[in-house]
Amino acid sequence: MNLTALFAAYGRPAALCAADGTMQSETAAIISPLRYKNKMYLDGVNTEIGFNSQGHYLYLGPPSPDLTLASEGDYLTAGGEKYRIDRAERVYHGSEIFYIWAIIRVIVETEDPV
């Protein structure tokens, strides 16, 4: 038992890519901005529903791809954005992986000056 069908129905398309840009796996996942209710954080923007840290997101996805096994430099793509995987963990139901959660961050690419 896992949440793969739920993510397929309600998630958005995402892909795990290797550092060289090669797509390793496609999936559907829920990606949502992280928001904080208290105002002790110095950077970011307060919104009607809470504090937006601008760039950090919560990833909830099926057991495959297992983001806990991602190599250095691997990244996610979804909706035209690239995300670095800062932290990922498995959530179990008994001995089976129920889903994967991760903290991901938008990759800001800069152009080299000519």
The pLDDT value given to residue 69: 96
Q: Are 83 and 105 in contact (CB under 8 A)?
A: yes
Q: Number of H helices and number of E strands within the chain?
A: 1, 7
User: How many CB atoms within 10 Å of residue 57?
Assistant: 20
Compute the distance between CA of residue 103 and CA of residue 68 in angstroms, rounded to an integer: 11
* Residue-wise pLDDT tens digits, 1-52: 678 899 999 999 999 999 999 999 999 999 998 866 544 444 555 555 555 4
What's residue 55's pLDDT?
A: 75
The whole-model pTM stands at 0.80
The C-alpha atoms of residue 114 and residue 108 are separated, in whole angstroms, by 19
Domains of the chain: 4-103 (2.40.10)
pLDDT of 100 > 90? The answer is yes
| H-helix or E-strand spanning residue 112 | none
pLDDT higher than 80, residue 111: no
- Written as six digits, the tokens of 15 are 């892909």
pLDDT in tens, 50-78: 554 557 899 999 999 999 999 999 999 99
Alpha-helical segments (H) within the chain = 4-10
